[in-house]
Amino acid sequence: MNQTTTSPVPAKLGATSRSNAWLIEPAVIFCGFALFVCYVTWRALYDWQYIEWGPYLSPFFSPKLIFPGWQWSPAILLLWEPAAFRATCYYFRKAYYRALFLDPPACAVGHLGGHKYTGENRFPLILQNVHRYFLYLALTVLALLWVDAFVACSYRGHIRIGVGTVVLTVNCLLLSFYTCGCHALRHLVGGRLKCFSCSTAAHGQFKIWQCVTRLNERHALWAWTSLGTVAFADFYVRMLAAGVWTDISLLQL
């Protein structure tokens, strides 16, 4: 079946009969993307000597990979996975199709790219369907970040909770909300079931599906807050490692 359809929106970029401030959302999203990409690029490629302090390891450089002879930033080996996971995320796809590709910049607003719309049924956008495989990797990365958060609770043989422990833990929590609210995960845990009450196992799956659905309802919120906390967690560890900030101890046993 030919999926090509005629778009109902005006062909001229920005043309619309909408009278509300539709431009604000794509503009804010564009600024958010630009800020994050600039920061990550700077940290990953130019400022990667500050990756850990005491028991804290920056989430950009976790797990800590050391290969003899490797002289470049370890982030090159790590960051492709979260980047691919977020780039293929259903929410972020909508966000950057609008804010970066202007195709369209908002609902019922004239867009770039003419009237032909083929959805994600053809190359290259059909490749977005690999998202579910990046989800499996993202769950593994998330488990490793939780291990880092637990490791951050001890220092030199003592239990110690510092501000950094809180920062890393909050980051893991928000990343968990984001990852566990994934549309692909929602389908994985309950999307294929035809009957939720036909067996105990199916009922258990239904409960999990409900939890994922609750997180999924706020997926955009978790997407942006986790993007902010992961950058801040890295920045916090970086500032400690560079000797600019001092970690305040909240509890020591």
> Under the criterion CB under 6 A, does residue 232 sit at the interface with ligand FES?
no
CB of residue 225 vs ligand FES: minimum separation in angstroms? 13
> Under the criterion CB under 6 A, does residue 89 sit at the interface with ligand FES?
yes
Q: Which stretch binds ligand FES (CB under 6 A): 48-56, 95-103, 108-116, 177-185?
A: 177-185
**Is the separation of the CB atoms in 145 and 237 below 8 Å?**
no
Nearer to ligand FES, 227 or 237 (CB): 227
Rounded Cα distance between 156 and 21, Å, is: 54
Which single residue is written with the structure tokens 């369907």?
A: 129
Six-digit token string for 31: 């600024």
> Under the criterion CB under 6 A, does residue 90 sit at the interface with ligand FES?
yes
**Is the separation of the CB atoms in 10 and 104 below 8 Å?**
no
> Under the criterion CB under 6 A, does residue 184 sit at the interface with ligand FES?
yes
Q: Which H or E element spans position 214?
A: helix 200-216
> Under the criterion CB under 6 A, does residue 233 sit at the interface with ligand FES?
no
Site for ligand FES in 137-166 (CB under 6 A): none
- DSSP three-state, residue 53: strand
What is the chain's percent helix, strand, coil content, to nearest 5? Answer: 55, 10, 35
> Under the criterion CB under 6 A, does residue 91 sit at the interface with ligand FES?
yes
> Under the criterion CB under 6 A, does residue 182 sit at the interface with ligand FES?
yes
**Is the separation of the CB atoms in 162 and 248 below 8 Å?**
yes
CB of residue 218 vs ligand FES: minimum separation in angstroms? 12
Nearer to ligand FES, 98 or 219 (CB): 219
Closest CA to 172 of 232, 114, 213: 232
Rounded Cα distance between 60 and 46, Å, is: 13
> Under the criterion CB under 6 A, does residue 174 sit at the interface with ligand FES?
no
Nearer to ligand FES, 167 or 184 (CB): 184
List interacting residues with ligand FES (CB under 6 A): 89-91, 131, 135, 182-184, 219
